[in-house]
Structures are given as structure tokens and as C-alpha cells.
Structure 1
Amino acid sequence: MESHDHLFKVLIIGDTRVGKTSLVHRYVHEKFFKCYKNTVGVDFALKALTWSDTETVRLQLWDIAGQERFTSMTRIYYKGASGCVLMFDVTSTSSFHSCQKWKEDLDSKVLQVDGNRVPCILLANKCDLSPWQVSKEDVETFSKTSGFIAWMETSVKDNRNIAESMRILAENMMANQSAFGTPENQGTSFKLSSPVTAKVANGDPCCSTMRNLVE
């Protein structure tokens, strides 16, 4: 049977120290570290998912720096994105309030081929910590009014809802690809009901700092 690859660029955005880099390492390498250096510009990693017997979904994860001095570069970083993860820290009110700015910036700079916004999922990270400084009701309201496909409580430390949230995003991107047509270098069919088997591409870590790799 002919095999098909589907490649999607996925942005990971949000304020600094909300857990973006930890999310990427947990999801791609199945590892968690307590300490990370702040991302400079953008880092990237590749996650390969076995979508069906004949299809592989490859997620190119772009970990965007959360520091204010890098936000002027987001138009370049966002180019060609198919989906997005927006994260905040449930113990930080300011990181939640900043999500409005991040979402508006995303929606103003990248659109799908039909002119609609790219699918974006909102992650309330560090849900293992207490007390929350943000109410779930406020998160629910913000998610609905801002056009997110969903929001989920996550804990990168405890590996809670990481694969599940990425699965939801991947399903939305696959559905959009089917609806809008498929580029020649990607597959032409998909099955949303197929189980996902997660694998690290080539079995090797693939995160590296990007400075000159953006077009």
C-alpha cells in the first residue's frame, strides 16, 4: 500500500516560563526537567505520529520565545503555520491575561487558505499546583469568545493531557487539510478514528535553536 506523510507546522506560544519548552521535551522526548534556559528566538522539534497503517503525521513544533523583545519577529516565525498551542501558567494571572495579546497577534498574522483562523488550543498548564490564580469559568469564557478549538488543563510535570491535547489539534489540522485540499507533497486521505502511536522521529532528540532557519 502507498504510504502518505502529512507535515504540519505547529506554533507553541505564550509568556516566558509557562512551560512551552517543557511541553515540547515531554511530548517529543518523553522527558521532564525542572530547569530550562529561556528560549532565544525560536527552537524547534519534530514529532512523528503513526496515524493509520498507511499514514504518518509529522508535527514540526516551533517553540517561540515568550520574552517581549522577540515578539516583533512573530510574523516571520508564524509563516506557514497550520496550528497553534497557546499556554499559560494557572498560578500566574499575568500569563493568562497575556493570552489575549498572543491570540490577537496570531490571528492577525496567520490565516488558513479560506481566510479563517488557524486552529489553536488553549492549555492551562501547571494544573498540579495550587492555588490556581485563574478561575476555570474565566478560562472557559475566554476560550469560547476567542475562538479556540478547546482548552485543557495540563501538567507537563505529571504528563497530564499532553498527548491528548496534541491529538485534538492534529485532528483539527487533518480535517482542515481535507476540506481545503492537500498539497502535492502530502497525503490525500486520513482517518480521524485511527489510534495514534507516538514516536520520536528517527529515535533521536531533534530540538535545536533556530536563528537563521526561518524564511
Structure 2
Amino acid sequence: MAGISWHYVFKFIITGDAAVGKSSLLIRLTDQRFLANPDPTLGVEFGSKLVTIPEENKVVKLQCWDTAGTESFRSITRSYYRGAAGCLLVYDVTSRKSFLNTRTWLADVRQHADPHLTCILVGNKIDLCQDEPETDQTGSAKSKRQVSVEEAELYAKEEGLLFVESSAKSGLNVERAFEQAARDILDKIHRGAFDDDQSPGVKLSKPATGNTPSNNLSLDASRSRPACCNS
């Protein structure tokens, strides 16, 4: 390949409880479409996307691993956390349990991913809360939302996370979530937090010279996937 198609490859993981919309977020990012009832993720699913960061004049290839949210696949998904530079920590704004469980997911990710990991907390399914009546027939407050923006923002601030609310159905803030995390990773690269030779989740694309491959990447999607995903 002559020249460079992208400047960096960032390894991302998408984690959180089952049914919070992780697969739908990935499909919206990569295919710009919405699946109302996607099949449950068995182990991991993969997708990639080129994003442009205009102020940096950089094109970044995001290699995203959508991980299963059930305990039975935890040992498999943990192996994909290793070396990740970015993480979408997803919960469903209409499910308080999924929000509370993000603490467990975050601890797991931080134990196995790159120590300089950029994590963005994503409150998904806000389309379910839009255009709701403010009160029911008795005058009582009625809402599907179980996690307020203020509470999620406070939690994100306490844990040093980025934060955004999104809708995989409408596409609202889906690309923004990934781009916001990518910008933060680029900033960490500038500050020397990520080393291109030592950080598996961040790889610098290099032009072809002689017998040197055009892209020095170790995150290629052709890597073997768990047996559960090959059927």
C-alpha cells in the first residue's frame, strides 16, 4: 500500500451488562443502521471504523471488540481487555441495575487493560426517555429513566471517566462517544503516556520502506477468535 490510509490504530472494547445495547452501538458506528433485536453476543464480536480528528489532522482506525455481558463468557472477554487503549462502558438509562454494575465492569477492565486506558461512560437508550409525559393520570411523576444525567456525570467525574448519553436507535452521540475517547487517547500520546513500541492498544501506521510492512499493526481482525464465535 502506497502512503498511509490512517495514522493510528486504537484498540477499543465495549463492555457492560447484557442487553444494554453494546452490539447496537457497534453496528450503528460501523454500518449506520439499527437492529431492533440483535442476537446476544457470544464471546466477542468485532467491528472497525475510520474516524477523522480534524483539529489533529489525523485519521484513526478504531478496532472495536464488543464483549458479551454474561458471566459465562467472562473468562473469554477478559482476554480481549488486555492492552485496550479505549473502552466504552455502557449502561441502559432505563435500568438502574445496569448502571450500578458498571462499577464491577470498570474494575475488571482496569485490572486487565492498558494502565493508561481511556474509558467513556455511555448511557444508552435515551430514545426511550424522550417525549415522555411528565406526569401520569394521577399527577405522579412518570418516566422510564432510572439514572439521571447528574448522577452519571458525578460518577464519571469521581472515576475519571468521560461521559455521554446516546441512542443506538437514532444514532445520537454514537460517533461522538468514540471520537471523544479517541481525542483523549491522542492527547495521552502527545503527553507520552502511550509508547508505540510498548502499548499494544495503540499502533502507529508507517509508510512502506523496503521489506517493512506498510502498517506496523498487531491488532488485526484476522487474529483467531474464540471457538464460540466461529460457528
The answer to whether TM tops 0.5 is yes
Match of 1:186 among 188, 204, 224: 204
Match of 2:189 among 177, 182, 185: 177
Amino acid at match of 2:226: R
**5+ long unaligned stretches in structure 1:** 189-205
CA-CA distance at 1:14 after TM superposition: 0.5
4+ residue segments displaced more than 6 Å = none
Alignment RMSD: 2.5
With over 3 angstroms needed to count, the CA separation of the structure-2 counterparts of 1:182 and 1:110, relative to structure 1, is: closer
Cα deviation, 1:120-145, whole Å, max 9, x if unaligned, reads: 00011011113201122221221111
Match of 2:29 among 27, 39, 47: 27
SS in structure 1 at match of 2:45: strand
Contact 1:2 1:54 in 2 (8 A): no
Residue of structure 1 in register with 2:138 after alignment? none
CA-CA distance at 1:54 after TM superposition: 7.1
Structure 2 distance, partners of 1:67, 1:166, is 23
SS in structure 1 at match of 2:48: strand
Amino acid at match of 2:175: A
Match of 2:40 among 28, 38, 41: 38
Amino acid at match of 2:172: R
CA-CA distance at 1:74 after TM superposition: 3.6
SS in structure 2 at match of 1:157: coil
Amino acid at match of 1:186: L
Residue of structure 2 in register with 1:211 after alignment? 226
What's the TM-score once normalised by structure 1's chain length? 0.79
Alignment of 1:52-63 (within 5 A): 55-63=58-66
With over 3 angstroms needed to count, the CA separation of the structure-2 counterparts of 1:137 and 1:55, relative to structure 1, is: closer
SS in structure 1 at match of 2:94: coil
What's the TM-score once normalised by structure 2's chain length? 0.74
Structure 2 distance, partners of 1:182, 1:129, is 41
SS in structure 1 at match of 2:11: strand
Amino acid at match of 1:66: G
Match of 2:103 among 100, 104, 120: 100
Structure 1 distance, partners of 2:174, 2:67, is 18
Residue of structure 2 in register with 1:78 after alignment? 81
SS in structure 1 at match of 2:128: coil
CA-CA distance at 1:159 after TM superposition: 0.9
CA-CA distance at 1:33 after TM superposition: 1.3
Structure 2 distance, partners of 1:176, 1:186, is 14
Structure 1 distance, partners of 2:113, 2:81, is 6
SS in structure 2 at match of 1:32: coil
CA-CA distance at 1:96 after TM superposition: 0.5
Structure 1 distance, partners of 2:159, 2:30, is 28
CA-CA distance at 1:42 after TM superposition: 0.5
**5+ long unaligned stretches in structure 2:** 130-143, 198-202, 207-220
Contact 2:78 2:112 in 1 (8 A): yes
Residue of structure 2 in register with 1:200 after alignment? none
Q: Percent identity?
A: 34
CA-CA distance at 1:48 after TM superposition: 1.3
Structure 2 distance, partners of 1:99, 1:50, is 29
Structure 1 distance, partners of 2:52, 2:170, is 24
Larger radius of gyration, structure 1 or 2? 2
Structure 2 distance, partners of 1:176, 1:140, is 22
